[in-house]
């Protein structure tokens, strides 16, 4: 069921506001059921119209500079252009964002990190994002700000009526938009670095805009696989990132070292629009929402929904949970992209059923990241016992580097080339885009600073 949008009378608005009041969850925790009714660089028809809730990429890897921890990165809001003022991109204050962990291979979430955002405008009598130069995160000239809370919930899955949880931190500030060099006379990075927080128990967190780390010749790939010219069509674009660095033993369970990771986003099931343009109106927000949370976006193994799931089931995939993935298994065992590689490019691909792809996408690879007793499901699986590589290879496991994709995913892993070669049964294929357009950081949150307008000219 998609969220319902309607116009409301005054009496209906009173009832809706009452429903909003009684549905508020104490301390910012969301421990109620979140039914799956509804990653993405425009991966599915429904979510492509809701960019604030649209997951673009997910990463999970042993932190190279802090190897006793795992870094988890979820990106949202595809194709952000840098000169997007005066209302620069920001997280949805009516969207619930999560990074979920399955640490016993039963295809159910055992641990979830939730992010909730709220906006603040300091001076409503100007159109400006910043009213002067910004030299710190708490600079009074930063006019439009966002803050967030981070909560950790434990429980079997989202159908539990109650999940044990706690707010790990609140009132953390989102890194601001990279407006341009004049607005940051001492540079953007020193200000953005102030949005990296240590929130206790060895956990670090960051939220804010970043350069889009995904790299691919999207234009050539979708031009019937034949227009590939090695151009990175995501160069100069940004995304919004939520990132965690968590001690490994907080994520794993007992002697199980492999975790399954996915990111999800949710909106309330009821959305109400109301007119606000009348003289004397006291409300400046035309919308409100109520009801249970509905999952709208899901991202785990990269490119699964984009390339493997057909149009008729893409929205269903985004609303599904891993334990229900058997309904999509036929698409992995006989994927359309493999047939296209055969029919268009003449590649001799293996015949279905593709048990090799089932291993990569649904169970994990034996001896690498397949956990004991695994329930087949699409998750980004990371064996936390494998140390970070001292010489990372962009092809990950295909390149002999077991610390890379599909054992988790690092920002520099070339998942397009890796998955094309997997679909082709090992035939060397690629899009001739082998790296991101800007260099990644060597420390948390690892993704590069967001582009500003001078870098996109």
Quick check: 283 pLDDT over 90? no
Across the chain, mean pLDDT equals 89
pLDDT in tens, 143-167: 999 999 999 999 755 554 446 789 9
Strand positions, DSSP E, 63-193? 69-80, 96-102, 111-121, 144-154, 164-173
- Residues 373-387: b if buried by 16+ CB within 10 A, e if exposed: ebbbbbbbbbbbebe
Distance (Å, whole) CA 298 – CA 391: 31
Quick check: 259 pLDDT over 70? yes
pLDDT of residue 435: 97
pLDDT in tens, 70-124: 999 999 999 999 999 999 999 999 999 999 999 999 999 999 999 999 999 999 9
Check: pTM over 0.85? Answer yes or no: yes
pLDDT of residue 255: 96
Domain edges within the chain: 4-276+283-324
pLDDT of residue 276: 85
Q: Where are the alpha helices (DSSP H) in 195-254?
A: 218-222, 248-251
Distance (Å, whole) CA 343 – CA 362: 26
pLDDT in tens, 203-247: 999 999 999 999 998 888 778 777 888 999 999 999 999 999 999
Distance (Å, whole) CA 90 – CA 115: 13
Quick check: 38 pLDDT over 50? no
Rounded to 5 degrees, φ, ψ at 277 are: -85, 0
Q: Is 262 exposed, middle or buried (0-12, 13-18, 19+ CB in 10 A)?
A: buried
pLDDT in tens, 302-325: 989 988 999 999 999 999 999 999
Tokens in use for 390? Answer: 């001292």
Q: How many CA atoms lie within 13 A of 397 on its CB side?
A: 21
| Nearest partner of 361 among 316, 410, 305, 310, judged by Cα | 305
3-state DSSP call for residue 203?
coil
pLDDT of residue 27: 39
Q: How many CA atoms lie within 13 A of 344 on its CB side?
A: 14
Helix H, strand E, coil C: the string for 129-146 is CECCCCCCCCCCCECEEE
């Amino acid at each position: 069921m998609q969220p319902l949008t309607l116009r409301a009378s005054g009496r209906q608005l009173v009832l809706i506001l009452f429903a909003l009041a009684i549905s508020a969850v104490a301390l910012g925790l969301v421990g109620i059921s979140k039914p799956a009714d509804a990653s993405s660089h425009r991966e599915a028809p429904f979510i492509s119209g809701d960019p604030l809730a649209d997951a673009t990429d997910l990463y999970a890897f042993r932190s190279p500079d802090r190897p006793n921890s795992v870094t988890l990165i979820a990106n949202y809001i595809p194709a952000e252009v840098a000169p997007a003022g005066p209302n620069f991109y920001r997280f949805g204050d009516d969207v619930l964002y999560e990074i979920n962990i399955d640490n016993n291979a039963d295809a159910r979430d055992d641990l979830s990190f939730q992010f909730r955002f709220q906006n603040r405008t300091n001076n409503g009598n100007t159109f400006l994002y910043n009213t002067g130069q910004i030299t710190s995160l708490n600079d009074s000239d930063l006019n439009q700000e966002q803050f967030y809370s981070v909560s950790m919930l434990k429980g079997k899955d989202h159908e539990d009526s109650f999940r044990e949880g706690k707010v790990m931190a609140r009132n953390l500030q989102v890194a601001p938009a990279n407006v341009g060099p004049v607005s940051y006379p001492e540079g953007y990075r020193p200000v953005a670095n102030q949005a990296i927080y240590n929130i206790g128990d060895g956990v670090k967190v960051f939220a804010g805009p970043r350069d889009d780390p995904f790299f691919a010749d999207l234009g050539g790939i979708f031009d019937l696989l034949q227009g590939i010219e090695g151009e990175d069509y995501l160069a100069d674009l940004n995304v919004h990132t939520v990132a965690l660095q968590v001690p490994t033993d907080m994520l794993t369970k007992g002697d199980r070292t492999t975790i399954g990771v996915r990111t999800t986003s949710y909106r309330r099931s009821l959305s109400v629009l109301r007119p606000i343009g009348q003289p004397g109106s006291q409300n400046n927000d035309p919308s409100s929402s109520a009801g249970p949370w509905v999952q709208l976006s899901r991202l785990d193994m990269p490119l699964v929904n984009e390339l493997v799931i057909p149009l008729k089931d893409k929205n269903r995939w985004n609303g599904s949970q891993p334990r229900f993935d058997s309904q999509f298994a036929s698409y992995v065992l006989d994927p359309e992209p493999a047939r296209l590689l055969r029919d268009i490019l003449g590649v001799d691909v293996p015949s279905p059923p593709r048990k090799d792809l089932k291993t990569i996408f649904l169970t994990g690879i034996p001896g690498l990241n397949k956990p004991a007793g695994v329930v087949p499901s699409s998750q980004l699986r990371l064996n936390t016992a494998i140390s970070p590589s001292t010489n990372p290879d962009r092809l990950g496991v295909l390149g002999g580097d077991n610390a890379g994709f599909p054992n988790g995913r690092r920002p520099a892993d070339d998942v397009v080339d890796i998955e094309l070669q997997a679909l082709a049964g090992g035939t060397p294929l690629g899009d001739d885009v082998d790296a991101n357009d800007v260099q990644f950081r060597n420390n948390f949150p690892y993704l590069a600073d967001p582009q500003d307008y001078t870098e996109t000219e």
